[in-house]
Amino acid sequence: MEGAARHKEVKYYRCNARTLVPESATALAHPPQIYLREDLVTPAINRWIGELFGPLNRQVTIDLLLAADDSSARRDEHVAQLRERVAAADVVMGRLQRALDAGWDLVALREQCNAAVAEKRAAETAITQVPPEAVVMSREELEGYVAVPGRITRWSIQPGQQKSR
């Protein structure tokens, strides 16, 4: 969905079928254009968010949010993959060094050596660019955050305005 101003003041969200793969099952079953008026849908969305964080559903919502947060695991997996690339490049460079020590021609191995060095440097650089571990809220912090009266409603979207914190 993408936002688009139509008829001057009214903002619509649309699902543009032109972005779908032509002749795919999704494209064939999808109407050409769907427009959804922001001012008509946001009150329902805000009520739904309010219900999710209301007293009756708050604990279930918090449980679901905490269970869905896998950002730390994804970050750790990415760093592990980058470290594996560094280790693999080290193995290749070790083999090439042994080949050189055994008398192989440096010119014959130059391309492989350059590729291994480039791969190792790229992976090491990528490791340094991985953002630090995300700060994850504990259950108590999340409960305290959503328990403050009005906090969730301040985050709700008002028709025609940008969402701000």
pLDDT digits (tens, 9 = 90+) for 106-149: 898 999 999 999 999 999 999 998 887 766 778 888 888 887 76
Spatial contact of 52 and 61, defined as CB atoms under 8 Å apart: yes
Is the dihedral angle over the CA atoms 153, 156, 158, 161 positive or is it negative? positive
Determine if the pTM surpasses 0.85. no
| pLDDT tens track for 76-108 | 888 999 999 999 999 999 999 999 999 999 898
Distance CA 126, CA 148 (A): 40
Which residue from 32, 35, 30 is spatially nearest to 14, judged by alpha carbons?
35
Which pLDDT band holds residue 164 (cuts at 50, 70, 90)? very low
Beta bridge partners of 33: 16
Alpha helices in 8-133 (DSSP H): 25-29, 38-52, 58-68, 71-101, 106-129
Q: Which residue's structure tokens are 């791969």?
A: 119
For helices 106-129 and 71-101, what crossing angle results, to 10°?
160
Spatial contact of 136 and 74, defined as CB atoms under 8 Å apart: no
Percent of the chain with pLDDT over 70: 84
CA–CA distances in Å: residue 99 to residues 30, 95, 110, 121: 59, 6, 12, 22
Q: Which residue's structure tokens are 């679901």?
A: 64
Beta bridge partners of 4: 12
